């Protein structure tokens, strides 16, 4: 088999596998940021394994992800993690029907490690290669909980993205609103840093918020009438101002109260905008996706509101909220069914658009 006729051969393999009617096993790979992950999933919705190696400890001392350090860790871990995922799933590469990999958005050096590994395995095994958008992966993490019903709205809240994504069908993403500055996870991490909390700060703010009172007045960025976009940099600056002004007056601010006030402002805007959009464009389901979906305050406020409005809400389990390869294989399965394959020129694209 040569590189030139590789995708044709892979397609032939796909047709044969479909005709045989056996289970479809997809090996997923995710290396877009600071988690090296590989997973084996079956028939789109069964997780056979989901191995994750987090680099958080290496980045903590820098207060954020250092791209070169991330790439180096991915290179060191990728083979081990793939072997671990196959072993946990009690499979070998011969049992795989396709390989799905995140090819954007993310850190270019980090993406390239996963893409190169996936291309090498696809070429060596003669199986189809599928390029997956990282945010599509986060959205499809919900399909391990509940089958999707369209149209649906996904509220995507991660370290790099804050988006309202409307879906009419599988793989059809329409971005209706997005952040104009900081992503919500980024705002969490920056506020946490100003309170001297370790990276990543989101979970720490979440925990503190549950211990405090939302007693400090902070702004809500509603933006102009009818806009579904978000903005969190003003809120972040307001938090820094509160700390700075208190410092100048020699007063102390209770970190738990500041965390609770910040979190209340974030959640109010996210939840209100989601339901305003649902009023305008009715949907069958509301999905929560991305690392900030692990936030307890957001999960419970959305759950209450969805219950009151009679909307079905789907939220991934905590283990599938932050970056993992099961969600990538899950989104890849939809493309597998459509026969939507990449060829060996697949490259990492840091700013890959969703729609
Ligand atoms: O989706 P993700 O793992 O990576 C990206 O694709 O960006 O999201 C990571 C982000 C970080 O900003 C982290 O602080 C935030 O998710 N996060 C949280 C919580 N757990 C993780 N933010 C708020 N509350 C949490 N419990
Ligand atoms: Zn992510």
Q: Is there a single domain that holds both residue 106 and residue 159?
A: no
> What does the pLDDT look like over 100-115, one tens digit per residue?
999 999 999 999 999 9
**Which residues, by Cβ under 5 Å, contact ligand 2, an ion?**
158, 323
Q: Is there a single domain that holds both residue 297 and residue 156?
A: yes
Domain that holds residue 104: 3-140+322-338
For the cut 80, the answer to whether the pLDDT of residue 5 exceeds it is no
Q: Is there a single domain that holds both residue 160 and residue 304?
A: yes
Question: What atom in ligand 1 is closest to the CA of residue 201?
Answer: 14
292, part of any domain: yes
40, part of any domain: yes
83, part of any domain: yes
Question: Atom 2 (ligand 1): residue with closest C-alpha?
Answer: 291
Q: Is there a single domain that holds both residue 191 and residue 254?
A: yes
354, part of any domain: no
Q: Is there a single domain that holds both residue 166 and residue 129?
A: no
3 state DSSP class of 280: helix
For the cut 90, the answer to whether the pLDDT of residue 332 exceeds it is yes
> What does the pLDDT look like over 9-63, one tens digit per residue?
889 999 999 999 999 999 999 999 999 999 999 999 999 999 999 888 877 878 8
Pocket test for ligand 1, best of 37, 202, 262 (most atoms within 8 A of CB): 202
351, part of any domain: no
Ligand 1 mean position to 322 CA, how many Å? 6
| Mean per-residue pLDDT over the chain, rounded | 95
Q: What share of the chain is helix, strand, coil (3-state, %, to 5)?
A: 50, 20, 35
Burial class (CB in 10 A: 0-12, 13-18, 19+), 279: exposed
User: Is ligand 1 within 6 A of the CB of residue 105?
Assistant: no
253, part of any domain: yes
Q: Is there a single domain that holds both residue 136 and residue 14?
A: yes
Number of domains in the chain: 2
Question: What atom in ligand 1 is closest to the CA of residue 184?
Answer: 12
For the cut 80, the answer to whether the pLDDT of residue 221 exceeds it is yes
Q: Is there a single domain that holds both residue 52 and residue 117?
A: yes
Ligand 2 mean position to 162 CA, how many Å? 11
Q: Is there a single domain that holds both residue 189 and residue 127?
A: no
> What does the pLDDT look like over 260-317, one tens digit per residue?
999 999 999 999 999 999 999 999 999 999 999 999 999 999 999 999 999 999 999 9
Q: Say which CATH number the domain at 78 has.
A: 3.30.420.40
pLDDT, residue 2, reads 56
User: Is ligand 1 within 6 A of the CB of residue 294?
Assistant: yes
171, part of any domain: yes
Question: Atom 22 (ligand 1): residue with closest C-alpha?
Answer: 202
Ligand 2 mean position to 245 CA, how many Å? 35
Q: Which residues contact 214 (CB under 8 A, 6 or more apart)?
A: 257, 260, 261, 263, 264
pTM (two decimals): 0.96
User: Is ligand 1 within 6 A of the CB of residue 158?
Assistant: yes
Q: Is there a single domain that holds both residue 182 and residue 86?
A: no
Span 323-351, average pLDDT: 97
Span 331-344, average pLDDT: 96
Q: How confident is the model at residue 207 (pLDDT cuts 50, 70, 90)?
A: very high
Q: Is there a single domain that holds both residue 238 and residue 91?
A: no
Q: In what order do the strands lie in the sheet with 129-133?
A: 46-54, 35-42, 25-30, 98-104, 129-133
Looking at 89-183, list the stretches that DSSP marks H as alpha helix, in order from N- to C-terminal side.
108-125, 134-140
Q: Is there a single domain that holds both residue 159 and residue 104?
A: no
196, part of any domain: yes
Q: Is there a single domain that holds both residue 236 and residue 275?
A: yes
pLDDT, residue 3, reads 64
């Amino acid at each position: 088999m040569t590189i030139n006729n590789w995708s044709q051969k892979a397609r032939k393999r796909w047709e044969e596998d479909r005709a045989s009617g056996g289970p479809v096993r997809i090996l997923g790979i995710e290396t877009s940021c600071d988690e090296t992950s590989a997973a084996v999933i079956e028939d789109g919705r069964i997780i056979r394994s989901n191995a994750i190696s987090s680099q958080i400890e290496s980045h903590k001392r820098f207060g954020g992800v250092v791209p070169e350090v991330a790439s180096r860790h991915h290179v060191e871990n990728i083979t081990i993690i793939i072997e671990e995922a196959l072993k946990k799933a009690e499979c070998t590469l011969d049992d795989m029907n396709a390989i799905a990999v995140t090819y954007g958005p993310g850190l270019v050096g980090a993406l390239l490690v996963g893409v190169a590994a996936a291309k090498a395995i696809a070429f060596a095994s003669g199986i189809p290669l599928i390029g997956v958008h990282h945010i599509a992966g986060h959205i499809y993490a919900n399909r391990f909980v509940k089958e999707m019903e369209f149209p649906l709205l996904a509220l995507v809240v991660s370290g790099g993205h804050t988006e309202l994504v409307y879906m009419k069908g599988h793989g059809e993403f329409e971005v209706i609103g997005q952040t104009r500055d900081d992503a919500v996870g980024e705002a969490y991490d920056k506020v946490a840093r100003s309170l001297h909390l370790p990276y990543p700060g989101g979970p720490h703010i979440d925990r503190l918020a549950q211990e405090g009172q939302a007693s400090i007045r902070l702004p809500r960025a509603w933006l102009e009438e009818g806009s579904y976009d978000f903005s969190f940099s003003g809120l972040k600056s307001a938090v820094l101002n509160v700390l700075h002004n208190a410092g100048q007056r020699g007063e102390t601010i209770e970190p738990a109260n500041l965390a609770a006030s910040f979190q209340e402002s974030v959640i109010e805007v996210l939840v209100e905008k989601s339901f305003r959009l649902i009023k305008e464009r009715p949907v069958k389901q509301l999905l929560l996706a991305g690392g900030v979906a692990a936030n307890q305050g957001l999960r419970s406020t959305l759950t209450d509101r969805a219950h009151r409005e009679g909307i079905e809400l789907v939220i991934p389990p905590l283990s599938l909220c932050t970056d993992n390869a099961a969600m990538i294989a899950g989104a890849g399965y939809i493309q597998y069914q459509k026969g939507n394959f990449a060829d060996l020129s697949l490259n990492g694209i840091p700013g890959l658009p969703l729609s």
